[in-house]
Structure 1
Amino acid sequence: MGAHEICPDGGMLLPYRDGHLPPPISISRHDLSLFNKEITFATLPALRTQPLTDTVFGMFSLSKKRPNRPFTSRDILSALDKSAADFQFPMLDNGYIYLAASRLSLYGSTDCWAIVIETFGFSPRVGEPDLTITTISNRLHNRNSVSDYVSLDAYQSYLSNKPNTDMRKFWPISNTSWIDQDEPEHVVSNGILDLRERKMGTPERADIEAAGIELESDRTAIFEVCRFLAEKHRTDVLGTEIERRVSVDPQMREILMLDDWHHPDLAASQMPSQTRTFNSFARILEDGNLDRFKVSEVPNNHWKNWPDGGTL
């Protein structure tokens, strides 16, 4: 059996002949041919390998026998829906945030799971662009400590109100001198911004329009620059591996990373469990079988699909 072939009897994925597992899959927005098709290791190139040990996921079995886990797909969906009901799940058309870029990753091990959603954008209330890493998991890592709160009651309230969700902020653009202090939703002329410690000039208006971003006025807005950066420097505005894993238990391995997926319309009261996409994610996390993943819903997480974002 070749390195990327699927068990002929439809069972779990087999390891490589040389004792390695197939790598975590990363699917790009350019893989449009994958829509409505089953995604397997047979259809995607290998990116890297990981040694086969007792702790590598514990997810890829050598038989069709279902792994025994302390959670089910229903448990995962329940945690996702609670996060959404408690206004902790990312809302891509949040009226206070102009979305510019997003990405989703799945992590898992024999006894824990995590879904990480990255959102980069601009909130006028915050005053500068930021990256939010939202992690939903049955075992959150690096949680706030009691010393972060004014009282023990406040700390216990944090734990009870967010049993499965944590959010962390990062700032890929480290300076604010390119922001007009008199009109703080716009940029100064010939501004210089520091993106991941790399200096670059604010983009020309013609370049922003050439990137498919419609300018709203005769002054360049901060959110328009964010969307230009997301188009031209996507990797830099989204999280590093350390940032993505900020709340992920270290024993978990990355299973899947997506630039494009179908996100629930929370403003219309749609829960994650009501989408086929998140049901698919939950089943993958339950048993580690990537054959379960099908792009059966049209991806919608691009900011152009959420025009109400930032309009309040």
Structure 2
Amino acid sequence: MQGVLQAAGILTVFDRAAEQRRFPEPAHPYSYLMAARLHAFGDADRWALVVETVGYNPRAANVVDVMHGVGNCLLGTTEHWGTQHLRRVDNFQDLFDDRPWPPRYRQLPITVRGHELHVDAAPTIAAQDLFRLLVPDHKDLLLGDEVELRHLVPADLPRLLSLDDWHHTALRVKPPSAERERARLRHDSLMRHVPPDQRVPFEVRPSDIETYRQIAEVLATADPNKYQPTLPPNTHWTNWPMSGAL
């Protein structure tokens, strides 16, 4: 019973992180998703979840690996969540000629963390499509290494699970407030008139999603066998066409 109670507490932290917009979302409107990876760490007393979403972010003018950390032992913060933003392309400013507009790819090697990567692409290729060509052969260069992960997670905390593919449902989360409760009551009233198979939930929190319920069990028990998904993985970038839409 203790493991179930602990898992419930972990799910509460996941939901609170989502209320603060600190939980990972593959369809982030500012970043064209390229790759993702999930890491679970834990022992008898400590736990940490780190989810990476790598994407081309036009506002940052780079490919950025965002490491979303949630846990009770994160380094560098007194909160239950922390984030690292890691720029991956060393020579981004050299890659495009922006006159005339739109920018044209100069067909130069792309330098990622000191590695020159050759890409066969036309000058007219869109930047997000260009960088996504790196993923099949160079995903590990784009995602975090052990040193970077351990900036968030204690070095002695065992790794329980790593996933490159899992099932995520787009989050819809509102922080608790009087207005939220009024909106929920209005939503529930409207949904009573909708056929059950067409009803839309008022919110979708991490605790509503099978993946994160099972990950919470993994973290609570330090047992990776608690992860037994029944839903197909969908974290490949092709499943999130609205990422980068803004």
TM-score bracket relative to the smaller structure: 0.7 to 0.9
Match of 1:203 in 2: 120
Name the structure where helix makes up a greater proportion of residues.
2
1:235 matched to 2:151? The reply is no
Q: CA deviation at 1:183?
A: 6.9
Q: CA deviation at 1:226?
A: 1.8
Deviation digits for residues 168-204 of structure 1 (CA, Å, limit 9, x no counterpart): 1112221221133447874522222212211133432
Match of 1:245 among 147, 150, 155: 150
Root-mean-square deviation (CA, aligned residues, Å) is: 2.2
Letter aligned with residue 166 of structure 1: G
Superposed counterparts of 1:110-125, under 5 Å: 110-125=44-59
Consecutive unaligned residues of structure 2, counting only runs of 5 or more, are: 174-202
Letter aligned with residue 89 of structure 1: F
* Partner Cα separation in structure 2 for residue 186 and residue 75 of structure 1: 48
Match of 1:220 in 2: 125
Q: How many residues align?
A: 215
Match of 2:84 in 1: 168
TM-score (norm 2): 0.80
Superposed counterparts of 1:121-136, under 5 Å: 121-136=55-70
- Identity within the alignment, %: 27
Q: CA deviation at 1:275?
A: 1.0
Assess if the C-alpha contact under 8 Å between 1:127 and 1:185 holds in 2: no
Q: CA deviation at 1:280?
A: 0.6
Match of 1:88 among 7, 22, 34: 22
SS of the residue aligned with 1:281?
Answer: helix
Assess if the C-alpha contact under 8 Å between 1:95 and 1:308 holds in 2: yes
Match of 1:188 in 2: 105
Letter aligned with residue 96 of structure 2: I
Assess if the C-alpha contact under 8 Å between 1:203 and 1:225 holds in 2: no
Assess if the C-alpha contact under 8 Å between 2:121 and 2:130 holds in 1: no
Deviation digits for residues 86-115 of structure 1 (CA, Å, limit 9, x no counterpart): 111111111111000000010012211001
1:262 and 1:194, CA in 2 relative to 1: closer, same or farther beyond 3 A?
A: same
1:96 and 1:284, CA in 2 relative to 1: closer, same or farther beyond 3 A?
A: same
* Partner Cα separation in structure 2 for residue 110 and residue 223 of structure 1: 42
Match of 2:161 in 1: 256
